[in-house]
């Protein structure tokens, strides 16, 4: 099959930094048997092409746009020009997510008469007033999402939680999480009890991820269990605000900032952890949660994304948004109960292994074939 993807970024030519690992895993698996072309909107400033994991990546380069959140017709023109040789012969187009990328996908699909899949992947449809986050507040974001959803042939979401904002939309969205390479992240569920007790959180440091909740919870935990440590992994987009908060809370000996880590460096940190903490206001899925679960780490999180979806499987412990006290109670309870930790970890690991990168590739391949046969 000839598959075309449109993505905002995450396809660095070295496949290391500035990437979306779950999409790279999916690309690698699909490219083994299919001709995959990936159009990237925001990777490098200058237009270029390069091979990556068996696919051809077309980076459109920077395009001036007075309204950066609105679809750029100059970018559409550039994309159509770059894809002219193959666009009309594609069997399917897939837009990740339903903002500009989704609109570009459905417009190109209409022009070339190619079926289109769009995947919801961020905050395009929601509004979190506590932090002023989400596309649901602005008419232009809602309008773009509406165009992408109404003109798509298939809609996918990364979790049942992300399905809710879509309401009774047609076509009915399919829940297809972006699976991780479960074998790469695998770790035994059993962990030696502390001290020290090791907790981990992996995410870019920003308001949506709400790491402040983790820090406040850690202050409460450290007051009762001094031998606890928290590893924070991710780039800092808050200009040092969390570092200052650590100092204010007296957590300098408790919290360790790692910055951004490649998977090879992060996996050992996951495998030694007793618990994974998710504090997000919103997640359409939460790939980092899947990576932690693959490593056998029990999940304590907020009721969003995959963390929420795992609750019926008894594979996560969910607490209310921004409730540091509830998170601290969950942490202390689980650190005292090895059997319960292992039950959570084993159930989460089983779910991730069932919905791994191979499963996602096979699921999307089946969707693509069904559309291509029309």
Q: Which residues, at least 6 apart from 338, have a Cβ–Cβ distance to it below 8 Å? A: 193
Give the Cα separation of 37 and 27 in Å (integer).
9
Q: Check if the beta carbon of residue 116 is closer than 8 Å to that of residue 91.
A: no
User: What are the domain boundaries of the chain?
Assistant: 2-179+356-372, 182-354
Residue 18 is predicted with a pLDDT of 76
Mind listing the pLDDT tens digit of every residue in the chain (374 residues)? 999 999 998 999 887 777 888 999 999 999 999 999 999 998 888 999 999 999 999 999 887 765 656 677 888 888 888 887 776 689 999 999 888 899 999 999 999 999 999 999 878 888 999 999 988 787 778 888 889 999 999 999 999 999 998 888 878 899 999 999 999 999 999 999 999 999 999 999 999 999 999 999 999 999 999 899 999 999 999 999 999 999 999 999 999 999 999 888 999 999 999 999 999 999 999 999 999 999 999 999 999 999 999 999 999 999 999 999 999 999 999 999 999 999 999 999 999 999 999 999 999 999 999 997 76
For 182-354, which CATH superfamily applies?
Answer: Glycogen Phosphorylase B; (3.40.50.2000)
Residue 140 is predicted with a pLDDT of 77
What is the pTM for the complete model shown? 0.93
Number of other CB atoms surrounding residue 88 within 10 Å: 12
Residue 253 is predicted with a pLDDT of 95
Q: Do domains 2-179+356-372 and 182-354 have the same CATH topology?
A: yes
To the nearest 10°, the Cα dihedral for 319, 191, 273, 29? -100
Q: 3-class DSSP state for residue 77?
A: helix
Residue 343 is predicted with a pLDDT of 97
Give the Cα separation of 283 and 162 in Å (integer).
8
Residue 65 is predicted with a pLDDT of 66
Let me know if 17 is exposed, middle or buried by CB neighbors in 10 A (0-12, 13-18, 19+).
exposed
Architecture category of domain 2-179+356-372 in CATH: 3-Layer(aba) Sandwich (3.40)
H-helix segments, 186-296:
211-224, 241-249, 263-271, 287-294
Question: What is the dihedral sign for C-alpha 178, 41, 259, 318?
Answer: negative
């Amino acid at each position: 099959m000839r598959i075309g993807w449109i993505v905002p970024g995450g396809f660095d030519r070295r496949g290391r930094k500035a990437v979306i690992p779950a999409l790279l895993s999916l690309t690698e698996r699909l490219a083994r048997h299919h001709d995959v072309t990936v159009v990237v909107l925001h990777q490098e400033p200058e237009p270029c092409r390069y091979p990556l994991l068996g696919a051809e990546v077309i980076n459109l380069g920077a395009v001036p746009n007075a309204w950066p959140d609105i679809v750029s017709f100059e970018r559409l023109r550039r994309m159509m020009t770059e894809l002219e040789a193959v666009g009309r012969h594609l069997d399917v187009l897939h837009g990740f997510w339903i903002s500009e990328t989704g609109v570009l996908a459905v417009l190109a699909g209409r022009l070339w008469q190619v079926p289109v899949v769009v995947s919801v992947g961020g905050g395009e449809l929601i509004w979190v007033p506590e932090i002023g986050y989400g596309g649901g507040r602005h008419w232009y974001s809602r309008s773009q999402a509406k165009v992408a959803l109404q003109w798509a042939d298939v809609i996918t979401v990364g979790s049942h939680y992300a399905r809710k904002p879509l309401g009774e939309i047609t076509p009915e969205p399919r829940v297809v999480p972006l699976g991780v390479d479960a074998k790469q992240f695998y770790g035994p569920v059993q962990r030696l009890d502390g001290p020290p007790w090791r907790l981990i959180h992996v995410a870019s440091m920003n308001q949506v991820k709400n790491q402040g909740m983790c820090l406040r919870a850690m202050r409460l935990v450290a007051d009762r269990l001094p031998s606890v440590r928290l590893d924070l992994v991710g780039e800092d987009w808050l200009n040092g605000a969390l570092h200052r908060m650590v100092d204010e809370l007296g957590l300098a000996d408790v919290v360790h900032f790692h910055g951004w880590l490649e998977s090879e460096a992060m996996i050992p940190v996951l495998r030694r952890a007793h618990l994974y903490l998710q504090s997000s206001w919103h997640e359409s899925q939460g790939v980092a949660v899947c990576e932690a679960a693959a490593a056998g780490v029990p999940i304590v999180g907020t009721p969003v994304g995959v963390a929420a979806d795992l609750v019926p499987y008894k594979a996560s412990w969910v607490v209310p948004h921004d409730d540091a006290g509830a998170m601290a109670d969950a942490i202390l309870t689980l650190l005292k109960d090895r059997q319960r930790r292992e039950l959570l970890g084993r159930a989460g690991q089983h779910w991730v292994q069932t919905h791994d990168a191979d499963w996602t590739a096979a699921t999307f391949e089946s969707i693509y074939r069904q559309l291509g046969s029309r």
